Amino acid sequence: AETPEAKDEL
Amino acid sequence: MNIFRLAGDMTHLLSIVVLLLKIRTTKSCAGISLKTQELYVIVFITRYLDLFTRYVSFYNTAMKLVFIGTSVAIVWYMRLHKVVKQTYSRDEDTFKHYLLIPPCFILALLIPLEFTVTEILWSFSIYLEAVAILPQLLLLQRSSNIDNLTGSYVFLLGAYRALYIVNWVYRFFTETHKIRWIPWISGLVQTALYADFFYYYIKSWKNHEKLRLPA
């Protein structure tokens, strides 16, 4: 699954 | 935050500023697809559901609010503003954009990031953003003359996701070393849809001639 830090993008 | 992502976000912001500038200064939205703008409202709302639940940074929250706010404002201008709404090219903006929503939603159910509501909607928003420009590109093909601000708007909009792809490559090699299929493939599709527009836009810019897309 996607690593959480990748969700810092807009 | 790397320079490519910052450049991408700033290019995205600039595209919206250019569009708002066009609408406010010319009091006209001729050549702009209301359907694409409505899809963007859906894209931003479904993508930023974690706006109040997860704080990443001031920048992140501020930009999310700006993107949601401006996209709603643009739809308001095109639908409700007494002067601007008269200039909407209603009979050329005929792409059945609502047909884009079910496939993206089904794809988000089949290939979500995680099986949670917010992640399924996030994936939906990534897929929808990839195709949201289609009504606008169709409208451009139908527009006899594309004004500079509209051309610049679409160019910046396409360029922002291309910069995001560079950002993803950079982050893969320097930070995460993880493949992110959903945004990467959607981002490539999204940018590829602009390919012929980029070609004609850059050609018209080099030859100092009016931008025209072949029908």
Q: How far is B81 from chain A (nearest CA, A)?
A: 29
Q: Which of B67, B113, B125 to mutate to test the interface with A (most CBs of A within 10 A)?
A: B113
What is the average pLDDT score of chain B?
A: 96
Between CA B109 and CA B98 the distance in angstroms is 18
Residue B128 within any structural domain of the chain: yes
More reliable by pLDDT, B148 or B215: B148
Q: How far is A9 from chain B (nearest CA, A)?
A: 8
Q: Give how far Cα B81 sits from Cα of B23, B33, B72, B73, B78, Å.
A: 10, 16, 13, 10, 6
**Structure-block tokens of residue B1:** 């935050």
Nearest partner of B38 among B142, B183, B136, B123, judged by Cα = B136
Q: Contact B176/A1, CB-based, under 8 Å?
A: no
**Structure-block tokens of residue B134:** 């289609």
Residue B179 within any structural domain of the chain: yes
Q: Does A2 touch chain B (CB under 8 A)?
A: yes
Q: What is the pLDDT of residue A6?
A: 61
Q: In chain B, which residues have their Cβ closer than 8 Å to the Cβ of A5?
A: 175-176
Q: In chain B, which residues have their Cβ closer than 8 Å to the Cβ of A4?
A: none
The SS3 of residue B109 is helix
Q: What is the pLDDT of residue B65?
A: 98
* pLDDT tens track for B168-208: 999 999 988 889 999 999 999 999 999 999 999 999 999 99
Q: Give the confidence band of A7 by pLDDT, cuts at 50, 70, 90.
A: confident
Nearest partner of B150 among B129, B162, B136, B161, judged by Cα = B136
Residue B215 within any structural domain of the chain: no
Residue B17 within any structural domain of the chain: yes
pLDDT at B213 over 80: yes
- Our count of domains for chain B comes to 1
- Our CA angle for B9, B13, B19, nearest 5°, is 150
* pLDDT tens track for B123-160: 999 999 999 999 999 999 999 889 999 999 999 999 99
Nearest to B180 among A6, A8, A10 (CB): A6
Residue B212 within any structural domain of the chain: no
Q: Which residues constitute the domain of residue B84?
A: 3-207
Residue B201 within any structural domain of the chain: yes
- Judge whether B104 and B124 are in contact, CB under 8 Å: yes
